[in-house]
C-alpha cells in the first residue's frame, strides 16, 4: 500500500475519497469487540481512523484491537465527516477515516517514553536524549526542526537574491592561538602533528574576499572545546557571511533586511527599525553589551550624589580609578522585595564582582530600611534624579565603573524575571556598535581582542591604536535580540601593516603571527579588497523563533554539559591499532592530591 496523504491533510472536502495513510499509532481507544479508534500520527499531524463491523470484516477489527502505541502501520480507508463530535484540537478533527485494511509495517517494543503531547514536556531530558529518535517524533520537536529548516531556506534565498555565493571551507585546518580551545585531530601522515577543527571559518572567508569572491555565504558547523551552557554547545552552527567593497553601514543595512525577512517569514513578526547603540551606552544604561530592551529598569549614574554621602561603600568606590555608583529604580519594589529576594540579588551582584547590593525602599515616609540612614543629605535629589514614587525600591552598586555596571546589569535581569516584567512574544532587536578594540587580560597581563584579531579599528581611531589601545574603538558590531547575542561581525583589517600592529599589541610575536596566520598576512599583501562580514548563531536564532531557552531543543542530536551524546555514547575509546597507526599513546594523569 502506498501512502496517498499525510496525517494532517484530510478535510471534509475529501469525504468519500479512498486514502492510504501511514504512520505511528499515537493512541488507541478500544470500544468493545466491534469498534476501535486509532489515532495515526506522522510528521503532518494526527488523523483518527475508526474500525467497526459495518465497514470491514471482523478479522480486521480484531487486528485493529491488537495495535499498540508507536506501532508503525499503513491503513487504507474512506474519508467521512466525523460521526461523533468533531475534535477541535486536531487540524483533521472534523473528519475520520473508516479503516478497511491494515498493514503492520513494524511492531514496536514497549517504548520507554511516548511522544505524547501531554507527557513529552515532563519527561526528563536525560531520557529524552537517550531515546532521541522517539523524542523527536513529538509534534513540538517536529515543529522546531521545521523552523530550523525554514531559517536555512530563508537564509539561502535572501543572500542568493543579493549576489552571495555559497562556498565551503575546510574542516581540517591549522590550530590558531587566539580564542577558544581547539578540538584537535591527529595527522596519520605526519605523526605528532595536528589539525584543528574550525572555531569559525574566519580566516578562510577573508581569503575568499582576497580571492575575488566578493560575497560569500556558508551555513557551517563551528567547534569550540569549551564548557556548554543553556544557550551554548561545543558544536554549533553559524550563518557565516563576508562582503567586499563595503563599509559598516552597508553591512548593517543588508543584514537588517535579512533579519526582518527571517522574522517575517518564519514567525510573521515585524521587527521594525533596529536601533544602533554604542557599546559604552549599552554598558552605562543596561550594564551589558547585549542589552535586553523588552523592559526598562535602566541603570542610572548617581556618582555625584553618592559623593555627598558618608556611606563608605560609596565613597570608597568613588575613590577608585574610574569608580562609579549606579542605581536602578524598581517601581513598586518596596512591597514585593522581601529580605529573601534582595539577598538573592545580593548574591547575583557578588557573583559579578560587586561587594554587595545596597538597597533602600522609598515610601510616603521617605527612605526606609537598608541604607536609608546614609541618604539623608541627598534624599530629595535622589528622588528627583531617579523619578522615585512611594512604593519603589532602589538597588545600588558601587565599584569600578565596569563592575558597577555589569553587576547591576545582572541584577536588572534577575529582577525583571522575578517581577514578570518581560512581555511574552515580544522581540526587541538592536545593533551594538563601537566596541573597544581590546580588553585588558589581567591574568595574561596583556591586551586581548574584544572581538577577534582581524577586526579593524574605526578609521577615526587609527591614530590612537598604538598610543592608547584601551580607548581605541573598533568597527565591530553585534546583533542582539531580547538580550541574546544572535550575531556579530566587523569590518576587517585589509592593510598588512595595521594587522601586524594589532598582532604585536596582542603580544603575538612576528614569528608566531607568521607561523600561525602567515597565509593570511601573505594574502593581505597581494591585493586585498576592503571587506567585512558577520556571523549569526543559527541555533540561537532558532531558539528565539521557536521560543525556547534550551539550545538542545533546537539541535536534532545535541550533547550534554559533559560533552557526551547519550544516544550514541560518544565519546568512546578506540582500538589500540588506531592509536598505533597515529603513533599516539594515552598517559594516565597522576592524581594531584
Partner RNA sequence: GGGGCGGUAGCUCAAUUGGUUAGAGUUCUGGACUGUCGAUCCAGUGGUUGCGGGUUCGAGUCCCGUCCGCCUCGCCA
Q: Is 271 in the site for RNA (CB under 7 A)?
A: no
Q: Is 448 in the site for RNA (CB under 7 A)?
A: yes
Compute how many residues bind RNA; rule: CB under 7 A. Answer: 73
What secondary structure letter does DSSP report for 471? Answer: G
Among 12, 57, 62, 119, binds RNA (CB under 7 A): 119
**Interacting residues with RNA between 540 and 559 (CB under 7 A):** 550, 552
- Under rule CB under 7 A, which residues in 46-105 are in contact with RNA? 48, 50, 52-54, 68-69, 82-87, 89-90, 93, 96
- Give the one residue of 47, 155, 176, 405 binding RNA; rule: CB under 7 A: 176
Cell numbers that stand for 175 in this block: 590550530
Binding mask 468-507 for RNA (x = CB under 7 A): ----------------------------------------
Binding flags for RNA, 122-161, as an x/- string (CB under 7 A): xxxxxx-x--------------------------------
Angstrom distance (rounded) from CA 539 to CA 484: 12
Helical H segments across 197-311, by residue range:
202-210, 248-267, 279-286, 303-306
C-beta of 35 vs 422, nearer to RNA: 35
Set of cell numbers at residue 440: 585588558
Smaller CB separation from RNA, 300 or 449: 449
CA angle 287, 292, 295 (to 5 degrees): 105
Give CA 32 to chain center in angstroms.
50
Binding flag, residue 566, RNA (CB under 7 A) = yes
| 30 forms part of the interface with RNA (CB under 7 A) | yes
The answer to whether residue 561 forms part of the interface with RNA (CB under 7 A) is yes
How many other CB atoms are there within 10 angstroms of residue 511's CB atom?
9
Residue 467 lies near RNA (rule: CB under 7 A): no
Nearer to RNA, 449 or 461 (CB): 449
Which cell numbers in the block locate residue 37? 479508534
Among 22, 39, 540, 555, binds RNA (CB under 7 A): 39
Residue whose entry in the numeric block shows the C-alpha cell 509495517? 105
- Note the maximum CA span of the chain: 93
In terms of CB distance, is 85 or 340 closer to RNA?
A: 85
C-alpha span between 128 and 529 (Å, rounded): 49
- Identify the three-state secondary structure at position 362: strand
Among the listed residues 111, 278, 331, 391, the single contact to RNA using CB under 7 A = 111
* Contact region with RNA (CB under 7 A), list: 226-234, 246-254, 295-303, 579-587: 226-234
Stretch that binds RNA, among 163-171, 175-183, 246-254, 363-371 (CB under 7 A): 175-183
d(CA 290, CA 373): 35
Q: Residue 287: what are its φ and ψ, rounded to 5°?
A: 65, 30
Could you tell me if 439 and 452 are in contact, meaning their C-beta atoms sit under 8 angstroms apart? no
Amino acid at each position: 500500500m502506498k501512502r496517498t496523504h499525510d496525517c494532517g491533510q484530510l478535510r471534509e472536502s475529501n469525504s468519500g475519497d479512498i486514502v492510504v495513510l501511514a504512520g505511528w499509532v499515537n493512541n488507541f481507544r478500544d470500544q468493545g469487540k466491534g469498534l476501535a479508534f486509532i489515532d495515526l500520527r506522522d510528521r503532518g499531524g494526527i488523523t483518527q481512523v475508526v474500525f467497526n463491523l459495518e465497514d470491514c470484516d471482523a478479522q480486521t477489527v480484531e487486528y485493529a484491537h491488537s495495535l499498540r502505541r508507536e506501532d508503525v502501520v499503513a491503513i487504507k480507508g474512506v474519508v467521512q465527516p466525523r460521526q461523533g463530535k468533531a475534535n477541535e484540537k486536531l487540524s483533521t478533527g472534523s473528519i475520520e477515516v473508516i479503516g478497511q485494511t491494515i498493514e503492520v509495517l513494524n511492531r514496536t517494543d514497549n517504548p520507554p517514553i511516548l511522544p505524547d503531547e501531554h507527557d513529552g514536556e515532563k519527561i526528563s531530558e536525560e531520557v529524552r536524549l537517550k531515546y532521541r529518535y522517539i523524542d523527536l517524533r513529538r509534534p513540538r520537536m517536529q515543529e522546531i526542526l521545521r523552523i530550523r529548516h525554514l531559517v536555512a531556506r530563508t537564509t539561502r534565498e535572501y543572500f542568493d537574491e543579493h549576489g552571495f555565493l555559497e562556498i565551503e571551507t575546510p574542516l581540517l585546518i591549522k590550530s590558531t592561538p587566539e580564542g577558544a580551545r581547539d578540538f584537535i585531530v591527529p595527522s596519520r601522515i605526519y605523526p605528532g602533528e595536528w589539525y584543528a577543527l574550525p572555531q569559525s571559518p574566519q580566516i578562510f572567508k577573508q581569503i575568499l574576499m582576497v580571492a575575488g569572491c566578493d560575497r560569500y555565504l556558508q551555513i557551517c558547523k563551528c567547534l569550540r572545546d569549551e564548557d556548554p551552557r543553556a544557550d551554548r554547545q561545543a558544536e554549533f552552527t553559524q550563518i557565516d557571511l563576508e562582503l567586499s567593497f563595503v563599509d559598516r553601514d552597508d553591512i548593517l543595512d543588508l543584514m537588517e533586511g535579512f533579519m526582518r525577512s527571517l522574522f517575517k517569514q518564519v514567525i510573521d513578526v515585524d521587527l521594525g527599525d533596529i536601533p544602533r547603540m554604542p557599546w559604552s551606552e549599552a554598558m552605562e544604561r543596561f550594564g551589558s553589551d547585549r542589552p535586553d530592551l523588552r523592559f526598562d529598569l535602566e541603570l542610572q549614574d548617581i556618582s555625584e550624589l553618592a559623593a555627598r554621602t558618608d556611606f563608605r561603600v560609596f565613597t570608597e568606590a568613588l575613590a577608585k580609578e574610574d569608580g562609579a555608583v549606579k542605581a536602578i529604580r524598581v517601581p513598586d519594589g518596596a512591597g514585593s522585595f522581601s529580605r529573601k529576594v534582595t539577598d538573592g540579588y545580593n548574591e547575583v551582584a557578588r557573583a559579578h564582582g560587586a561587594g554587595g547590593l545596597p538597597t533602600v525602599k522609598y515610601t510616603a515616609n521617605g527612605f526606609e530600611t537598608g541604607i536609608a540612614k546614609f541618604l539623608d543629605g541627598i534624599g530629595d535629589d535622589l528622588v528627583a534624579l531617579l523619578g522615585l514614587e512611594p512604593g519603589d525600591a532602589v538597588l545600588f552598586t558601587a565599584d569600578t565603573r565596569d563592575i558597577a555596571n555589569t553587576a547591576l546589569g545582572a541584577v536588572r535581569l534577575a529582577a525583571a524575571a522575578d517581577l514578570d516584567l518581560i512581555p511574552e512574544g515580544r522581540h526587541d532587536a538592536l545593533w551594538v556598535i563601537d566596541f573597544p578594540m581590546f580588553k585588558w587580560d589581567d591574568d595574561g597581563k596583556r591586551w586581548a581582542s574584544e572581538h577577534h584579531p582581524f577586526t579593524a579599528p574605526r578609521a577615526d581611531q587609527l591614530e590612537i591604536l598604538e598610543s592608547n589601545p584601551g580607548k581605541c574603538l573598533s568597527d565591530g558590531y553585534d546583533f542582539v535580540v531580547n538580550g541574546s547575542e544572535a550575531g556579530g561581525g566587523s569590518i576587517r583589517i585589509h592593510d598588512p601593516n595595521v594587522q601586524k600592529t594589532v598582532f604585536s599589541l596582542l603580544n603575538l610575536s612576528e614569528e608566531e603571527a607568521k607561523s600561525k596566520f602567515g597565509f593570511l598576512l601573505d594574502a593581505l599583501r597581494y591585493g586585498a579588497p576592503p571587506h567585512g562580514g558577520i556571523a549569526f548563531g543559527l541555533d540561537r536564532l532558532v531558539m528565539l523563533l521557536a521560543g525556547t531557552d534550551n539550545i538542545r531543543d533546537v539541535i536534532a542530536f545535541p550533547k550534554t554539559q559533559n560533552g557526551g551524546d547519550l544516544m550514541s555514547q560518544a565519546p568512546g575509546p578506540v582500538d589500540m591499532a588506531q592509536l598505533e597507526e597515529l603513533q599516539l599513546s594515552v598517559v594516565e594523569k597522576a592524581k594531584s592530591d
